[in-house]
Structure 1
């Protein structure tokens, strides 16, 4: 084998191994399945009081990048699926409907959460998205979407304040002050 081939192998082998390592860390190693107790209550904002109120749910499955109670990744990694015994009609009359929800993809192994299916259902008006909690961490809102068959999905997405900060722009005037450690 000549020196050129050895040099090519010396570059390609670490690159392939490094790529595989990064892929594994992003898709598998960073996420942990959460118990319903770790997820806690899922709340929606009441149209009457403007305050979050817990909703009933069954069969909760969730993932996040939290290890021993410490977040090891960004605040938008949380995803959850559940069954809601309440109807869409009851929920839409009781809780704030959210404008412009954008479900974020989940790792492929978390099969109950299909962002493309949820997004299409939201676009077609089949699913309804609700505000769960504004600024669950600075610049990030918790969103809940309910399908007509009662399946529910939860994710975190950037709000206008978060989008401005992460883009390096000035925050809108109605944004809270970012935390000092932000």
Structure 2
């Protein structure tokens, strides 16, 4: 079974924010593949089903971003999940709005949700899909990532979320190298 985790913050006030593109991508995957996100388990909202004939669990941690690892470590430990079977989707301020970056492994960079996951599971050797949200030109970073996209940015991010979902489907059916070649950039 593959576990696909989208990072975000729970609650209405965070819907549509830059920090929640991981949640939005999970919703897109669930809708496209008729997977009901209707269980609460592992400190997360989860849905189980099939994508490209492969059993998957879609996960939206409910721990708030900075504690995402507390949810992910429960799943990894319960299923004794190999790191190749864990995929994390999250926002990236170091990538321009709407661009995707798929990697096989790597550090958390500046992302606190990823820091939490790497700390809790004691590994950074898992695939990830980063969705570019841009960088604030000035002001507070926390306010920026918890803010909404501008009217001009919204079409780019909506398209990026669709492409991120497609990239996960490609990763599942054709492997990470093909997904990276097709969707990076």
Q: Do both proteins adopt the same fold according to a TM-score greater than 0.5, normalized to the shorter chain?
A: no
TM-score by length of 2: 0.26
Asked which structure has the greater RCO (Cα within 8 Å, sep 6+), the reply is 2
The structure whose residues are more often helix, as a share, is: 2
